[in-house]
């Protein structure tokens, strides 16, 4: 049973560059969540989708961040332009209505 | 969302039971108590959840106080693989099932000694 798949697992890039993180949710799940984890702030919800529609993006730090879910099996989180303070582990999770969330293994992002 | 309070860290010996406490004195009637854990270098993993009654599954047991202002996650026999950060989270199920946010606190870091 394939879980939530995130790519890349690691990304190192220079500040100012565009970064795109990808997520494939578990097949059949209708909700998708993007989280960010840092030592200082812990795990924070950035945005979540229900049936491919963004429901709450109040956690998105600023306009440099954007997320899309063009279909039920794919989502992207984009940072443009990236800054060193965006360095973190980014997690994607998916769930079925009323069920627990399943998390991917995360993307470790380093902005130099 | 109602807040939870957990100890920063706990230690256990392998093969012994572990009781991880969580206080949630401002819990509302529609808040479910969820527990997740995060092993090193992995994403969080669902452990168990409940509303009022004690719950058991293959991973753990959840004991909920009668007034619901506290709960305890019980690992019956700790193994080295159980070393992780354990998060106690309240989720208002009225928000819409899977749409309900999970708000993670700092959790309890559990160390298991061989």
Residue environment code for A42-75, b if the CB has 16+ CB neighbours within 10 A, otherwise e: bbebbbbbbebeeebeebbeeeebebebeebeeb
pLDDT number for residue B107: 96
Q: In this predicted model, what pLDDT tens digit does every residue of A52-62 receive, in sequence order?
A: 999 889 899 88
When the pLDDT of each residue in chain B is averaged and rounded to a whole number, the result is 91
Contacts of A54 in chain B (CB under 8 A): none
Contacts of A43 in chain B (CB under 8 A): 44, 87, 104
pLDDT number for residue B2: 60
Contacts of A50 in chain B (CB under 8 A): 96, 98-99
pLDDT number for residue B98: 43
CA proximity to A111, closest of A44, A40, A11? A11
Which residues on chain A place their C-beta less than 8 Å from a C-beta of chain B? 4, 29-31, 33, 42-45, 48, 50, 55-56, 91, 93, 95-106
Q: In this predicted model, what pLDDT tens digit does every residue of B35-67 receive, in sequence order?
A: 999 999 999 999 999 999 999 999 999 999 999
pLDDT at residue B99 greater than cutoff 70: no
Nearest-by-CA chain B residue for A31: B98
pLDDT at residue B1 greater than cutoff 80: no
pLDDT at residue B87 greater than cutoff 90: yes
Question: pLDDT band for position B108 (50/70/90)?
Answer: very high
* Residues of chain A with confidence (pLDDT) below 70: 1
């Amino acid at each position: 049973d394939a879980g939530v798949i995130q790519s890349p697992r690691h990304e190192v890039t220079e500040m100012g560059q565009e970064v795109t993180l990808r997520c494939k949710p578990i097949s059949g799940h209708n909700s998708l969540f993007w989280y960010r984890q840092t030592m200082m702030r812990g795990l924070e919800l950035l945005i979540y989708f229900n049936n491919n529609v963004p429901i709450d993006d109040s956690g998105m730090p600023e306009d440099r961040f954007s997320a899309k879910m063009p279909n039920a099996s794919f989502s992207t989180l984009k940072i443009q332009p990236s800054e060193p303070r965006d360095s973190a582990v980014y997690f994607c999770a998916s769930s079925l209505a009323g069920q627990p969330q399943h998390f991917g293994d995360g993307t470790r992002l380093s902005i130099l | 969302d109602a807040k939870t309070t957990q100890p920063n860290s706990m230690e256990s010996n392998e093969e012994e039971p572990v009781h991880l406490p969580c206080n949630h004195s401002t819990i509302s009637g529609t808040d479910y108590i969820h527990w997740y854990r995060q092993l090193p270098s992995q994403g969080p993993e669902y452990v168990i959840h409940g509303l009022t009654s004690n719950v058991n599954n293959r991973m753990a047991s959840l004991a909920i106080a009668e007034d619901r202002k506290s709960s305890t996650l019980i690992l019956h026999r700790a193994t080295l693989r159980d070393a992780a950060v354990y998060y106690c989270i309240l989720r208002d199920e009225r928000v819409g099932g899977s749409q309900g946010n999970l708000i993670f606190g700092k959790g309890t870091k559990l160390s298991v000694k061989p």
